[in-house]
Amino acid sequence: MLNAERDAVALRFAELLRDLERTQPNDTETALRELTVNAAAALPGAVSASITVATREGEVKSVAATDSVADKIDDIQRRTKQGPCLEAAWEQHTMRIRDVETEHRWPLFCLETQQNTSIRSSLAFQLFRNREAMGALNFYGERVDAFDDDAVELGLILATHTAVAWNLLVRDEQFRSALASRDLIGQAKGILMERFGVDAAGAFGLLRRLSQESNTPLVDLAEQVIDSRTGEDRPA
């Protein structure tokens, strides 16, 4: 791939990131899928792609996929607990399978992929890694050795932009969740202040104590308090 083509792809993805930051989409799943579709379209040889998250407990989840083929391959990795995206997520930054028929590193995964899909080669990049989970961006091709060294280089650029987008989307989702939790706790405090004649600090202290004693997350307890008030307001 020529440098000009590679630069054009990088510029296009940088523009997608700017659009994400400006619009701050509420549907994180749809935004990630659109990014994955664009990444697959930009990488020569790729017919499918996915973003996979794996936990240290061995759980594997496809959070974005271009089609049912990518979902099926992620399911094979989940069932066999083998595969290049898991290796990329946990151990190395980049993993490439040139031919599933001759690949020896993940025999169960390669056998099922060969028997149940048209995919013959793959390329996987680590997106993020923390104490609880790791993620990978995966590309799949229908011909042997679909991804040459130029494709690996371009894939690294696409993975870097996707990782930035992931952080942006997750951070925004966490912020919205925090705001929603704050609102719920505020409503619950108001109910407790009215019900027990205490001030805001006293109401929050009561919520926190009940949360600790019942081993219930504070926001879940706040929802229970709000639900109890709703029940009281219903006509007999």
- CA nearest 225: which of 207, 202, 212, 209? 207
Q: Are 110 and 131 in contact (CB under 8 A)?
A: no
pLDDT band at 101 (very low <50, low <70, confident <90, very high): very high
The length of the chain in residues reads 236
- 61 strand-pairing partners: 53
Q: What is the pLDDT of residues 115-168, one digit of tens each?
A: 999 999 999 999 888 888 888 999 999 999 999 999 999 999 899 888 888 877
Q: What is the pLDDT of residues 7-62, one digit of tens each?
A: 777 667 767 767 766 666 667 788 888 889 999 999 999 999 999 988 777 678 88
pTM of the predicted model, to two decimals? 0.69
Calculate the average pLDDT of the chain.
82
pLDDT given at position 231: 54
Spatial separation of the C-alpha atoms in residues 69 and 88, rounded to whole Å: 19
Q: Are 152 and 96 in contact (CB under 8 A)?
A: yes
